[in-house]
Amino acid sequence: MAFAGKYELESQDNYEEFLEAIGLLSAKTDHKVVTEVVQDGNDFTWTQTIPNWTWSNKFTTGQQCELTTMKGIKFTAAVTMEGAKISIQFPQYHLTAEIIEDKLVVNCITPGEKGVTFKRTSKRI
């Protein structure tokens, strides 16, 4: 259960540019994000929390799953795990997540020539 645990934001790169690229200009960028991952084999519950806001998705790797964007829009996507890396194609970006040296590293990449790569690293708490 490599992903299972609770993580607190340690660093992030290009977050404000990423929010602008996906149309979330009003999102706060000064909060410490806490991510909690519950993993039971291939079944995951992935929850991110900041004060006054929580975003959660349940999914099973290797299957099509109904997910919700940060804006609350529902969509269906295949969730894959290649090696120890989770991969999800959201409507406006591609997300990968992996554990590197006991830290949760999430990358989100928007498409196109001027795509934005957002990287968030969170330490286990």
Convert the pLDDT of each residue in 14-55 to its tens digit: 988 898 888 887 666 667 889 999 999 999 999 999 888 889
Question: Quick one: tokens of 78?
Answer: 């295949």
Q: Which residues of 70-79 are buried (b: 16+ CB within 10 A; e: fewer)?
A: eeeeeeebeb
- Domain boundaries, given as residue ranges, for the chain: 5-124
CATH second-level architecture of 5-124?
Beta Barrel (2.40)
56-68: per-residue pLDDT in tens?
Answer: 999 999 999 999 9
Distance CA 73, CA 56 (A): 12
Read off the tokens for 15.
């977050």
